Amino acid sequence: MHRIHLVFISLFFCATIHSAHGQKTILNGILKDKQTGDPIYPAKVQVTTDHYTTTTPEGRFDVEFLPVDKQELIFIAPGYDTLCVTLSIPLGTTAQLDFFLFGKDLVLNEVQVSGQRDGTFELQRLRNVENMAIYASKKSERIQLESVVANLATNNARQIYKDIPGLNIWENDGAGLQLSIGARGLDPNRTSNFNTRQNGYDISADALGYPESYYTPPSQALQRIEIVRGAAS
């Protein structure tokens, strides 16, 4: 009698476990964009038990829960914020729910930045009328030596004139003692096609005959360099 009683209890316990495993909790749903309502694909739907599935092109997904009271769902999709949801669905039922994700794209307000040139820029333009001279129709540049990123001690012409388009620079000595630049394809030898002045005075050997410049002021002693190109400049 005692042995039969043990067998009966064992069989009943096994039948109860089998019945619990036979009950499935299933969740059917659609994952959508919160702003547009469009289905989200591809997206990963993960359950607390590390079981996961992916959405279909229509945003649909099916997940099966283990027989526990609460389940946690995690929705992950590129370009969207991750969503974590805790659900409590009765054991052995099939539920249908829709979920929504917020996109990470942000629309920023327009920003306008305005400023005024205060003279600290490396390269500037001459005004139309300046010091009794007219530069309105001339190509002109003003180099502020204090703003130039260069080694002024070496008189390196390529560093000083690097931002001015259309200049030909010829380095015929290593110390930078003779400035050699040309424009419009003309010979740059000793700046022979420019009238070179310092503080308004000619420093060329012969401004009318042989206007080659044999002397170049040291860059460290200069405040600015003005270059004017064009007819009758």
Percent of the chain with pLDDT over 70: 79
Scan for tokens 């009950």, then name that residue: 23
User: What confidence score (pLDDT) does residue 10 get?
Assistant: 34
Q: What is the pLDDT of residues 158-212, one digit of tens each?
A: 888 888 888 888 877 766 677 888 888 788 888 888 888 888 888 877 766 676 7
Q: Determine the pLDDT at residue 120.
A: 58
What DSSP string runs through 14-71?
A: HHHHHHHHH--EEEEEEEEETTT-PBP-S-EEEETTS-EEE--TTSEEEEEE-SSS-E
Could you tell me if 76 and 61 are in contact, meaning their C-beta atoms sit under 8 angstroms apart?
Answer: no
Please state the rounded mean pLDDT for residues 25-34.
90
The verdict on pTM exceeding 0.75 is no
Predicted local confidence at residue 58, as pLDDT: 94
pLDDT digits (tens, 9 = 90+) for 113-128: 887 655 556 677 777 8
Which is more confidently placed, 217 or 32?
A: 32
For residue 71 the two structure tokens come to: 């389940």
Q: Half-sphere exposure of 83 toward its Cβ, with a 13 Å CA cutoff?
A: 22
Residue identified by tokens 């002693």 is: 221
The answer to whether the peptide bond before residue 42 is cis (omega within 30 degrees of 0) is yes
Question: Where residue 15 falls among pLDDT bands split at 50, 70, 90?
Answer: very low
For residues 74-90, give the mean pLDDT: 89
Beta bridge partners of 27: 63, 95
Instruction: List CB contacts of 186: < 8 A, sequence separation 6 or more.
Output: 168, 193
Contact between 101 and 75 under an 8 Å Cβ cutoff? The reply is yes
Confidence band, pLDDT 50/70/90 cuts, at residue 8: very low
Task: Find the angle CA(93)-CA(99)-CA(100) to the nearest 5 degrees.
Answer: 180
